[in-house]
Amino acid sequence: MSILKKLSLVMLLMALATTGAWSENTSDKHFALSKNLDIFNSLFRDLDAFYVDTINYQKTITSGINDMLAGLDPYTVYIPEDQTDFLKQMTTGEYAGVGAEIGQQNGRVFINDPFEGKPAQKAGLKAGDVLLDLDGISLKGKTTEQVSNLLKGQPQTMVTLKIQRPGVEKPLTIKVMREKITINPVVYYGVLKNNVGYIMLSEFTENASDEMQQAILNLKEHHVKALIIDLRNNGGGIIDEAVKMVGFFVPKGTEVVSTRGKVKAWDKTYRTQSEPILPDMPMAILVDDNTASAAEILSGSLQDLDRAVIVGTRTFGKGLVQSIRPLPYNGHLKVTIAKYYIPSGRCIQAINYAEHNADGSPVRVPDSLTHVFKTADGRLVRDGGGIRPDVFVKDSAQLNITYYLYNQNIIFDFATQYALKHKSISEPEQFSITDSDYDAFKQYVKAQNFHYTLQSETLLKKLMATAKIEGYGDLAATDFKSLQTLLTPNIDKDLNLFKKDIKNMINAEIVKRYYYQKGVVRYSLQHDKTLDKAMDVIDNNAEYNKLLGK
């Protein structure tokens, strides 16, 4: 037999073996699926027949589904029929209600932030108003989720609220007409110093690209010389919206992202479909560790295409794509179907949910196992672990007394009291409480029985206990005592030590009472190190071009 015939025979035998193995594997897979469904069905029937107490079918099955999906990844979730409104709000940014963010403290639900121009604000509801009852239904003991559901309803229906307003002795009754609420993903845009345009984008819901386009066109009319897009704390959303936005800045037909998954028919390459609006204008994108998904597609593709400088901290690293699948009885499954790859070919997924550490947590891809890719102009970039910024700016946020003052609503309540005494304040860019106001705040804090425990103090106590078990307690007693003295919270000391951070938080909360979310952004931009660095980079042609490898 010739070598060619032998080779052909070997290849044929290999093909037959592979086909047989594939058939066997498919058969095994179907058997395993059928077997386990039969087990589950029989188990639940026996539970229903023999368990001593009555079983809540929906609660038990839903709990089982949720536990099953939790073992896959955080993004694959079951959405039952009663959460359809949440699904719509998540994808479109729309819902029908009064347009206000609510919070809870000491068993009371209160208005945290009435959205500017929405029914709650137009009806006169203010931040700090405590909700007592709704259409005659007492809200005492109800959660924010329960109250939120009651506030929602059909557009053009009236809801009657009884509220307790701080500083007002008797409860007030306010009627609010529900409306279709659309949350604009462009939180704020404007012209900063040196004629630089700025856009803050919060999410990628339906029509987000239309809102972004309007902002860009408006800034273009003001003849801005550069553009900064702020994607910090942007958790992403719809891929198509990110692709459309990339198209505002690069040539038509440019590849932005591709998706690859188990079902090859769903693999897709996304390209820009329109001519760019700003093909050459210098750009910077602000990112942080909460920048994820579609926000990473926008920032990562513009980095890969050498179209913008990325400034901030490493992004979250979500390179997974979800699809909404309909289920019987009006339920839905949001399921991870693919991974996405940006123009350089890299996937920036940071966590491998298929593998787990000894403690059960999913494995994070270490930097040592990431791979090098090249941008359009040859710059080196890496996959895994999110988008690494071209200019790293360390996040200055600290878990100090400011966090606890904010988390316990001390700052919120002080701002409420301040707003009761001041009918107006100066523009956000110029506003700041005085030193006298801050002294009043310190007295207010002491009157609220405020207390907090530092994380470092908690860890020190654990270390002391461990050292005692291991026989080192007495040897390190003096050092432990010194550390304990340093780490035990001292409210007076910390109120002075972190005065700058606390004042900024108070100022922002007060500004929100008069100028709403846009005002908070305007105030915060005056104290933003990441923005300042982006402005410096854009203002320096040589540095900007060097960062982009020009």
Q: Where does CATH 3.90.226.10 sit in the chain? A: 186-395
Average pLDDT of 55-59?
90
**pLDDT tens sequence across 107-135:** 899 999 999 999 999 999 999 999 999 99
d(CA 31, CA 2): 43
- For the chain, percent of residues with pLDDT exceeding 90: 72
d(CA 493, CA 404): 15
**Is 220 an active-site residue?**
no
Q: Max CA-CA distance within the chain?
A: 104
Are the beta carbons of 405 and 506 closer than 8 angstroms?
no
With a cut of 80, say whether residue 445 has pLDDT above it. yes
CATH architecture of the domain covering 186-395: Alpha-Beta Complex (3.90)
**Is 293 an active-site residue?**
yes
**pLDDT tens sequence across 509-526:** 999 999 999 999 999 999
Average pLDDT of 491-502?
92
> If you search the block for the tokens 């002080």, which residue do you land on?
414
- pLDDT value of position 379: 97
**pLDDT averaged over the chain?**
90
Average pLDDT of 370-374?
95
Q: How far is CA 348 from CA 89, 196, 265, 285, 382, in A?
A: 27, 30, 23, 17, 8
Q: Which residues partner with 369 through β-bridges?
A: none
d(CA 330, CA 326): 7
- C-alpha closest to that of 401 among 459, 458, 451, 461: 451
- pLDDT value of position 397: 66
**Is 28 an active-site residue?**
no
Tokens representing residue 218 in the block: 């408006």
Inter-axis angle of helices 477-487 and 455-469, nearest 10? 170
Query: b/e per residue, 271-292, with b = 16+ CB within 10 A?
Result: ebeeebebeebbbbbbbbeebb
d(CA 39, CA 208): 46
Top pLDDT among 362 and 388 is at 388
Q: Which residues partner with 374 through β-bridges?
A: 380
Are the beta carbons of 291 and 311 closer than 8 angstroms?
no
Total residues found in the chain within this entry:
550
CA 462, 464, 470 angle in degrees (round to 5)?
A: 105
Q: Which of 209, 258, 293, 299 is catalytic?
A: 293
Average pLDDT of 358-363?
84
* Per-residue 3-state assignment (H helix, E strand, C coil) for 367-417: HHHCCEEECCCCCEEECCCCCCCCEECCCCCCCCHHHHHHHCCHHHHHHHH
Are the beta carbons of 295 and 254 closer than 8 angstroms?
no
Q: Which of 304, 306, 383, 390 is catalytic?
A: 304
- pLDDT value of position 12: 40
With a cut of 80, say whether residue 253 has pLDDT above it. yes
d(CA 456, CA 283): 40
Are the beta carbons of 146 and 121 closer than 8 angstroms?
no
- pLDDT value of position 18: 44
CATH architecture of the domain covering 94-182: Roll (2.30)
With a cut of 80, say whether residue 489 has pLDDT above it. no
Are the beta carbons of 115 and 517 closer than 8 angstroms?
yes
- pLDDT value of position 463: 82
